[in-house]
Amino acid sequence: MKQLWLHSVRLYLKIGLFFYFKKITVVNADKVPKDGAVLFLANHQNALLDALLIATNSGRFSYFLTRASVFNNKLISKILKGLLMIPVYRIRDGWGNLTKNNSVFSSTAKLLSKQKAIVIFPEGSHNLKRTVRPLSKGFTRIIFETLNDFPDTKITLVPVGVNFVHAERFADSTLLNFGNAIVVDANSTKSASELKETIFKELCQLTTHINSDDYDETLKKLEHLNVDFLNPDAVNTCIASNFKTCKAVKKESNTFKKLFKVLLIINLFLPYLLWKKVFQPKINEIEFTSTFRFAIAISVVPIFLVLIMVLLSLTIGVKFAIMYLLNVLVLTLLAVKL
């Protein structure tokens, strides 16, 4: 039953992400082992959407280390744990809670010894800045604790670059960039600091990395050139060459896309109003904008569609209800994919 639940949820999320993003590009997914202990190590920009993209495109059912604050609500906590999410505590959650991480690390070590896959965002928090932030030592602690307690375990580290054009906007495009697998075992000689440095360098290549010293100026130049942020190799080369190799891309304006968006909003007026008037104003961190918008899209929108279809079926006939549904689906595709 658990496997059926996970397969069903992954399929539903994959369909939702298809309708939410203009384009989802996955590169080098074949580098992910189909079995064995795997530790996915990804940069973290776009809150829960980063995790969902990895969950639906990595080819593995993965456990996720997730900040404990999102587990405060009992119902939400139950749902998240059912989706293989494990709460991990940070200093901001209170010094007294940090000791709870001891059991978290022990649990993740056991999962890896059982050949499971785990996703960690080693930056420790999310941020929309196009830079790879210093990595925390949590993931190295998990590695060495696993190898110490279960010395026969081999862990494959897979760095993942998660890239967005405009992470907070709709409809955005994204690139999931899987890096070279790194196998560690009890005989590995790399220290914790060396592992952190290796993964940091990998992530800097798998996503756009702008140094913090001149971040704002560099970002302005890149945005002025309208570079393709779904091609981190080219963007990073552009930065390294002091913009000598950069290729400017002409911005395109699609009037029809704007029209289709307006028509889609009209057809989904109630979910749109709930988003704009109720949910969006309560978002305190911009990184959560897309996550909450997506949550509305896969929860409130389907309920609204079912209610409208039932109403149409009871009043003017099933044929009109089906036509309404097809109309919304076509408008969504045109508004998102064009």
Is pLDDT above 60 for 47? yes
Alpha-carbon distance values, 133 to 42, 44, 210, 220 (Å) = 11, 9, 10, 19
DSSP-H helix ranges across 83-231? 101-113, 138-149, 192-206, 215-225
pLDDT at 95 over 60: no
The confidence score (pLDDT) of residue 94 equals: 55
Rounded average pLDDT over 311-320: 95
Number of neighbours of residue 133 by Cβ within 10 angstroms = 18
- In this predicted model, which residue has the larger pLDDT, 69 or 179? 179
Is the four-CA dihedral 25, 29, 229, 283 of positive or negative sign? positive
Mean pLDDT on 27-45: 93
Residue 121 has pLDDT above 90, yes or no: yes
Kindly state the helix (H) or strand (E) to which residue 311 belongs, with its residue range. Answer: helix 289-315
Does the pLDDT at position 41 exceed 90?
yes
Q: Work out the angle at residue 59's Cα, subtended by the Cα atoms of residues 57 and 60, and round it to the nearest 5 degrees.
A: 115
Alpha-carbon distance 9 to 17, whole Å? 12
Ramachandran assignment for 199, one of left (phi > 0), alpha (psi -120 to 50 degrees), beta (any other): alpha
Contact 290, 47 (CB under 8 A): yes
Question: What pLDDT, on the 0 to 100 scale, is given for residue 92?
Answer: 61
Phi/psi of residue 123, nearest 5 degrees: -70, -20
pLDDT number for residue 201: 96
Residue 175's nearest CA partner among 324, 45, 268 is: 45
pLDDT of residue 112: 95
Residues 78/33, Cβ–Cβ less than 8 Å: no
- Encode pLDDT of 136-145 as tens digits: 888 999 999 9
pLDDT tens profile 179-235? 999 999 999 888 999 999 999 999 999 999 998 888 999 999 999 999 999 999 999
Does 130 have pLDDT greater than 80? yes
What is the pLDDT, as a whole number, of residue 257? 86
* SS3 category, 104: helix
d(CA 139, CA 65): 10
pLDDT over threshold 60, residue 107 = yes
Q: What share of the chain is helix, strand, coil (3-state, %, to 5)?
A: 60, 15, 30
Please give the model's pTM, rounded to 2 decimal places: 0.89
Please give the pLDDT value at position 193.
Answer: 92
pLDDT band at 97 (very low <50, low <70, confident <90, very high): low
Task: Tell whether the model's pLDDT for residue 302 goes beyond 60.
Answer: yes
Give me the pLDDT at residue 57, please: 93
Q: Helix, strand, or coil here: 163?
A: strand
Non-local (6+) Cβ contacts of 69 within 8 A are 92, 93
Q: What does the pLDDT read at residue 99?
A: 66
The pLDDT tens digits for 238-289 are: 999 999 888 777 777 778 888 999 999 999 999 999 999 999 999 988 988 9
Closest CA to 203 of 160, 240, 243: 160
**What's the pLDDT at 255?**
80
